[in-house]
Structure 1
Amino acid sequence: MKPNQLENRLIQFAIDVIMVCRIKDNSFASVHLAKQHIRSATSVVLNYGEAQGGKSARDFLHKMKICLKELRECLINMKIQKGAKLITDIGAFR
């Protein structure tokens, strides 16, 4: 995969998360998890952009590890929301 393709996919992922978070109810749990989910999802692509400008291979790897950490956080957040039935109709945002 070319670097530009990965960047575009990460941008689309962040957009998709934002769109899913727009259709949530206004409960404390939904709002709390939605805000954190958006921060994590957008952090991935922003850190990826930083990694592209890394000063060394070590710096690049460090920033990519941060991206992976944020992606794991997104996955766990989605599992929590799914388990708590806070995500109900994902197909509605596309």
Structure 2
Amino acid sequence: MKKDNIVLDKSFRFAIRIIRLYQHLKDTKKEFVLSKQMLRSGTSVGANVREGNNAESKADFIHKMGVAQKEADETLYWLELLNATDYLTIAEFESIYQDANELLKLIRSIILTAKSNR
């Protein structure tokens, strides 16, 4: 029986939210530049988490999770810019920003645990 992997699940669901937000911004706000950056970094989080899940070593795992952490933090930056330039409503921003921040904290915690268990 396969054990649940919370960070894989959360990062996948987060990528879906990012894709839907990108579609909304592109279609209704006609915003293409910032939202594309957000799309790239936001979907990259889960891809790197998945790569880390298949790491060849503990060091490789920590590296891949480190990349996922950077991508999550970059996504926060793009969300902050989209909010500051009024492309997102307060409700849209707060909802997805909270998810991104929780994901970032989870990934940081995983990295710290992996480093201490080396």
Q: Is the structural similarity TM-score above 0.5?
A: yes
Could you list the per-position Cα deviations for residues 4-34 of structure 1 after superposition, in whole angstroms to 9, with x for gaps in the alignment?
Answer: 22111111101111111222211xxx21111
- Whether 1:9 aligns to 2:48 is no
Query: Aligned partners of 1:86 and 1:66: how far apart in 2?
Result: 27
Distance in 1 (alpha carbons) for counterparts of 2:6 and 2:60 = 21
CA distance in 2, matches of 1:80, 1:41: 14
Structure 2: 5+ residue runs without aligned partners? 94-118
Q: Take 2:11 and 2:17, find their aligned partners in 1: how far apart are those partners? A: 10
Query: Which position in structure 2 is the counterpart of 1:53?
Result: 54
Q: Which residue of 2 aligns with 1:67?
A: 68
- Structure 1 unaligned spans of 5+: none
User: How many residues were matched structurally?
Assistant: 87
Partner Cα distance (2:7, 2:61) in 1:
15
- What is the rounded CA distance, in whole Å, between the counterparts of 1:70 and 1:78 in structure 2? 12
TM-score by length of 2: 0.68
Q: Which amino acid aligns with 2:92?
A: I
Overall identity of the aligned pairs, in %: 31
Contact between 2:7 and 2:49, CA under 8 Å: does it hold in 1? no
Aligned-CA RMSD value: 1.7
- How high is the TM-score relative to the length of structure 1? 0.84
Return structure 1 stretches of 4+ with deviation > 4 angstroms: none
Higher RCO (Cα < 8 Å, 6 or more apart): 1
Residues 1:86 and 2:87 aligned together: yes
Taking a change above 3 Å as real, the CA distance of residues 3 and 44 of structure 1, as seen in their structure-2 partners, is farther
